[in-house]
Structure 1
Amino acid sequence: MKILRVMFWLCLLVGGLSHLRAQLVNIESKRMQRDSVRLTLKSDLLFNYTDNNGNYILQIGSNLTTQLKSKDLKKIYFFIGNYNLIRTRDEDFQNSWFFHFRYNQKLSDLWRLEAFLQNQNNERLIITSRNLIGAGVRLKLVSEEKTKVYFGNAYMYETERIAATGQEFYNHRNSSYLSVNQALEKPRIDFTGTVYFQPLYRTISNHRVLCELKAEVPITQVVSLSALYNYFFSSFLPNSENDRSSNLRVGLTFTL
């Protein structure tokens, strides 16, 4: 729990000056730490519509996560997809989607290899579109019944687009992360905390910092109450504007 407390305060420190602009999808909190279960499916769905004298707010939020393991449990195929929309008569406050596919190959109790593809679009950020492909290693540093700690490092090739100017960027980027999973018995709560650092190889000052915290309380075997906090910071060149976004969500998670 000491590691989780450090990660919690680090996320609050980094995200203290942020403002709500977009959602960042939490890859680590979506992973399903079930060693003997071959197929798992999780989904979240939110719909809300309010109309006051013609001034309406339409809100749609959806998440789908699925994981398939091979018979020998050494190969994992993992997919995340989500779409989020907040629309009024005058404008869209949020219109974003995200797709992520990942392959994981277990080599030993410590080492794993991973490869992934990702597409991300958000009209409210400076960089409105991002596509990437990457591969790297994942280490299981701690593997206890209640506590698991992972470290990962990967190479990514990404393309980014700024819709306002039509500019496109093609980058080689590194991605490193530390992730902690902690399960408590009384009360029954599962915690996941992750910190990412993603700099360009040629310019470290151009980097991204991602902090992710999730708490999940099982209600039944299928339904859980969950709270998720995400913070994202993207630093470009010294004289250009940066992107910051944070998101806090509380809702229900369905596991099949």
Structure 2
Amino acid sequence: MNWIYRIPLLCLVLFCTRATAQIVNIEDKRKGFDTVGWYGQIDLGANLTRNVNQVISVNGAIRVDRKGRTNSLLGIADYKLVQVSGDNALNAGFGHLRHAYYLSDKWRWETFGQLQYNEQIRLQLRGLLGTGPRLKVLSIDNNRVYLGTLYMYEYDEVAEGEIIYRSHRLSSYLSFNLYPWEQLSVSNTTYYQPVLPDFQMPRISTVTSLSLKVTTRLSVQTSFSLTHDPLLNQGLPDVPNTTYEWINGLRYSF
């Protein structure tokens, strides 16, 4: 692919449409490490814009990975705040801890816990505890396909604690990361999370990401996620049961 075809795509994906999502996709945060040991990463950012309105944005993230010979550990925390003239346009954060035990080359047994809040959808607190198997369905070169089915207990406080939900859910997902050609990677994760035992109120979420190398060091990245969750809308009619997020950007590697 030469420059004349890459430039229109570059211009297109730099425009971003965004709304608040309410499910955390951990699949796109997984990383593969070749050697045993500890790994860490910290991201911090802040912006201030003043014109007709004053816009303040603050974000921070930290992750810690531990790869062992028979197990691995992943810890992630993330916080985002956007204020427009003193009003919060975005105020959300989460913390996630996940342990995986290697049953074989293809099978893992995973256990996780998560805390999350999101002011814009009036989710004061969401707590998750889950466990279950993960299967590597396909592994050819850099192409990967995974399938997982976990039990998950969920606790939700919404509307400043006025409404509380407690539910047992099945959390099933299909995830893949494919390379149609060397410059392009495509990944997707789709979750299906119904309430047990009658499989009612299913939460469905899908996340698709593309990364296109413009040069050996510069790449264009775009990610679109969509979540349908009728549970929150049941108690809060003003909260949409379908939310989405579209994020675009550039990445420079050195």
**Which bracket does the TM-score occupy, shorter chain normalised?**
0.7 to 0.9
State the match for 1:135 in structure 2: 131
Q: Could you say what the CA RMSD is over the residues aligned between the two structures, in angstroms?
A: 2.9
Structure 1 CA distance for aligned equivalents of residues 219 and 101 of structure 2: 29
CA distance in 2, matches of 1:157, 1:100: 14
Note the C-alpha offset of 1:64.
3.0
Q: 5 Å matches for 1:184-195? A: 184-187=180-183, 189-195=184-190
- 1:5-24 counterparts in 2 under 5 A? 20-22=19-21, 24=23
Farther-moved stretch of structure 1 (57-66 vs 74-83): 57-66
Partner deviation per Cα, 1:116-154 (whole Å, 9 max, x = no partner): 010010011143320011100000111111211100011
Contact 1:23 1:230 in 2 (8 A): no
Q: Distance in 2 between matches of 1:47 and 1:178?
A: 35
Aligned to 2:241: 243
Contact 2:233 2:241 in 1 (8 A): no
Residue of structure 2 equivalent to 1:51:
50
Q: For 1:109, what is the secondary structure of its paired residue? A: coil
> Letter of the aligned partner of 1:28 in structure 2?
E
**What is the TM-score normalised by the length of structure 1?**
0.79
Q: How does 1:157-176 map to 2 (within 5 A)?
A: 157-164=153-160, 166-176=162-172
Number of residue-to-residue matches in the alignment:
234
2:203 pairs with 1:196: no
Q: Report if aligned partners of 1:157, 1:173 keep a CA contact under 8 Å in 2.
A: yes
Between stretches 113-122 and 203-212, larger displacement belongs to 203-212
What runs of 5+ residues in structure 2 fail to find an aligned partner?
A: 1-16
Q: How does 1:103-252 map to 2 (within 5 A)?
A: 103-164=99-160, 166-187=162-183, 189-217=184-212, 225-236=220-231, 241=237, 242-251=240-249
**Which amino acid counterpart does residue 112 of structure 1 have in structure 2?**
R
Q: Map Cα deviations across residues 68-95 of structure 1 (whole Å, 9 max, x no partner).
A: 101x2x3110112111111122411110
Partner AA of 2:24 in structure 1: V
Shift of 1:108: 0.9
What code does the residue aligned with 1:93 have?
A: A
TM-score, scaled relative to structure 2:
0.80
Structure 1 counterpart SS, 2:196 = coil
**Cα-to-partner distance string for 1:179-210 (whole Å, 9 max, x where unaligned):** 001135532x3332100000110342312111
Cα distance, 1:45 vs structure 2: 4.3
Q: C-alpha separation between the residues in 2 aligned to 1:33 and 1:214?
A: 17
Q: Is the 8 A contact 2:145 2:175 kept in 1?
A: yes
CA contact (8 A) 2:185 2:211 kept: yes
The structure-2 alpha-carbon separation of the partners of 1:96 and 1:164, relative to structure 1 and needing over 3 Å to count, comes to same
Kept in 2, the 8 Å contact 1:23–1:247? The answer is: no
For the pair 1:25 / 2:24, whether they are aligned, the reply is yes
Whether the 8 Å CA contact 2:18–2:247 is kept in 1: the answer is: no
Q: Do the aligned partners of residues 132 and 25 (structure 1) sit closer, same or farther apart at CA in structure 2, a change above 3 Å counting?
A: closer
C-alpha distance in structure 1 between counterparts of 2:212 and 2:91, whole Å: 29
Cα distance in 1 for residues equivalent to 2:211 and 2:45: 18
